[in-house]
Chain A
Amino acid sequence: MPDPSVSPLPSLSEHRVDWPDRAVASLVWLVALLVTGSLLWIVGDLARHGAPELSWSFLTDSPRDAGRAGGILPVVVSTLMILGICLAVSLPMDVGTAIFLAEFTRTGGLLAHFVRRSLDVLAGVPSIVFGLFGNAFFSIYLGMGFSILSGGLTLACMVLPILIRSTEEGFRSVPDEYRKAAAALGLSQPATLWQILLPVATPGLVVGLILGVGRALAETAALLFTSGYVARMPSSVLDSGRTLSIHIYDLAMNVPGGESNAYTTALVLITLLLMINVLTFWIADRWLHRGITHR
């Protein structure tokens, strides 16, 4: 080994082992393994307990014996109805607010500042607080009772910040040349919005939509006291109906011997969410990152 005092530049061969870096590297790898391990544990456990009961008839039967036997058809139907109401209300609000924030405000506008800040706070509100609000406002004050309508509206308030954030991003990604070109052609503002900006901003809207659907499907606490527990097939939006996540909670906590069907329902829910997740990545990769000039 050459004497370091002789050559001022260390050669590669005498590169010292950097012990602090080694130690931190192994710690960080350990953390990564731990996180990966937990996910595999949870998902593996779900698949192991849930898969044996999963069958086509589980999806098309009504629950029997408080959910211990039978399937989840009415629960799926209620979930879809709640989701439908949630999106029917939140989407127009989303598009309107996002267009306003992205296209019609200058920095320092008072209304825009207020709307942004309140959406930040709204995004952080705990779901059980949405539940309290939904119960007091939609179920009692507006007289909707424990109903799919009241649950859907509560969820609409909840997913709005997620939708708006993503849709606004979509509008901001439209290059300014498009707006200038539209103005140069003498297009009116509504026409510019409808025919030029909205089509180009659609990917952002779709990503937000999918994220919002994911959040809505996962929600339990906000629905306990708004859409209620009833596991019968709903005949209208004013009926009470339980979602997949409430069904899981009820079977796991309140029905002795309900764990097995709770796991199977959880597997259905997770599969649904995974499909949504993959769809988001797919759209984000294929659509968002492709230059709009290639259209």
Chain B
Amino acid sequence: MTKLKYVGSSNLRNVDGIEKVTGQTRYVGDMTVPHMFVAKVLRSPVPHALLTELDATPALEIPGVRAVVTAADFVDQGNYGWPIKDAYILAHRKVRFVGEPIAVVAADNAAAAQAGVDAIVVRYDTLPVVSDPLRALEADASLIPEVSPTGRGNLCNTHLVRNGDPDPLLAAAPALFEGTYDLPHQEHAYLETEGALAIPEPDGGVTVYVNVQSPHINRNNAAMVLGLPVESVRIIQPPVGGAFGGKDDVLYQTTAQVAKLALLTGRPVRLVLSRTESMAASYKRQAMRIHLKLGAESDGTLRAARADLIVDSGAFASTTPLSSWRATMHAAGGYRYDAVQVDMRTVYTNNGYSGAFRGFGNTQATAAIELAIDELAANLGRDPLDFRLQNCLRRGDLTMTGAPLGSTIGLADCLEWVRNRSEWTSKRATYDAQPADAERRYGIGVACYFHGIGLGGEGVDFATATLRVEADHSLTLTSGLTDFGQGSRTIFTLVAAEMLGVTMERIRVLRPDTYTAPDSGPTVASRASVVGGNAVRVATSKIAAMLDMSAADLLGCEPEQLVRDGEQYVGPDEEPATFEEVVDHARELGFQLSAQGRWQVPEIEWDFERGTGVPYFGYVFGAQVAEVEVSRRTGRTRVVKMWAAHDGGRILHPTGALGQMYGGIAQGLGYALMENFRFENGIPQALDFDRYRIPRANDMPEIEGTYIETHLPEGPYGAKNLAEPVMIGAAPAIGNAFAHATGVRIRGFPLPRVAQRK
């Protein structure tokens, strides 16, 4: 095999780095176009109420106000949502959460738009607020959706796993552990808030620049509620200032709102949410209550697990039916069992609404199981890392769902790596011996995880890419999968450059645009590198084959005889031909130097009714260790250092991959220590960065991270995914380190300060 130039190189720069580091990148909020109106939104101040009166016409009497839209301006009142069509572009008949948009006003300037919003007449006839998910399931609870999707009140959907019968094994197990875990909501807190700029087109269509993750889904949705053919709606994704799963549904609303206002006024309309609006209006990580029952032999062998999950979806389903499925598939963790059953219920409440967020349900599932496994190991008098090594998934094992593991299993290697690098054994002994009344107590804890690759049973998992050679011999690449800071554009570029034997500088990736990029499904599930990268690989291989034929013809040899020297093609007579010459000759031969590639994940089969089957075609794995210091006086926990190892297959872009790891750990650390998007009777308690704290530089420890390289045969150059799963070990590792330091076991996040004083 030829030596790779870009894959795995530590000298890669992100392809859009220069414009970012010089401040030239234009995010949607930086875009100002001539004759542009600005929009402001009327939002519900109450969690649950009937809209008994809504009169938007007074807004139009405010000087400078140009248009106002409500649910009545959209087809079918703007009803949308997938997989459950239970949401509205603007509130229809009732409001279901604080921050739900009711009307949007376009005006000459922000002050006029706000005055227009303030002039709208609206009366709320309040309904009982449903804030406790268990209460939501009671027969007499106030119904939140218009129609119950299950026919059972606020029960939104269910999932299950049926892998044998754990009950007799649990009943007979010498070591039994049972616990209930409360995992809170979490806010994405991308630094760039949601924004969209709609420009009306002369043909009656509309173009929207919007920082959405999934442009094609957004386009289809906007066309549906606007009553336009899909070709009349063009979605362009400008550079996006972070997403982490959070920039889809909320921007489907925003997109349709500004598009309608642009069509009504015939002028461009821009709407950028304030931070407070963003925090109220955007969806969250689902809060979950997870009840676990684990049984093991006296020698520590895990036998059986039973898990019950209650998932708070909030006002709308959004993608919670999918992320709750992922939580269900991972609820007993990356361990060997004889039998596992899981039951999951998703519930409507008035607690905002929830959807996709990094880890997609497995963040919460892993947090619970990893805190529980640690407690079970302690009950057995076992070292928690040894206990995990004894039970973790290895080659030939079946997962907790009874499915095969796939071909690359690096979990034990990850655990060994973090054990060695953290000096686990000696620190564990030292901290075990520290005095109970010390002002600063230290602890070290571990967590590990497994995470299914791609969408699994969540949907058809494909991507499409196009590549063409331009007249100036540069290459233009498109993908429907998008980059919101995680580096997909760089990954796509390096895969194409590597395969084609050209420099990365020769390739330009177009911004995602529904007019030029083919539909690739949603950019979620950390699937861009594997699925999107493979689509690029397929497209590139078609161009490469044409150029090989051209070069062979030019150099009078067979394509198999060609070797490459830099970009040059060299024949058996050692005569070189430049890339440009080969391209020009290919055109003379009549080749059309453009190609499209599509790649789809190997089929999986999950029986949703029975809870059996194969949920994913393969898995990634990882382990993390946290060392913490807990002050007796202040109760404050500080993470001193972290070690992290992840099996992400072949690593395409090591510097970028480490950046994903460090950033993921920061979000996990925030979840464990300080982030807690709390609702009290449906009222969000923190809507700014003063009250909703996310980690700052001084909150973060130094992290020593590595990738345990395996080779996924299906992945581009053997790559697996990494961006989401690298976050999910952090919070439970910190929780377990806290327990080691204080002797206090926690059953949820964030770490309670009160308990720390014990």
A and B are partners in one complex rather than unrelated chains:
no
B interface residue numbers (CB < 8 A to A) = none
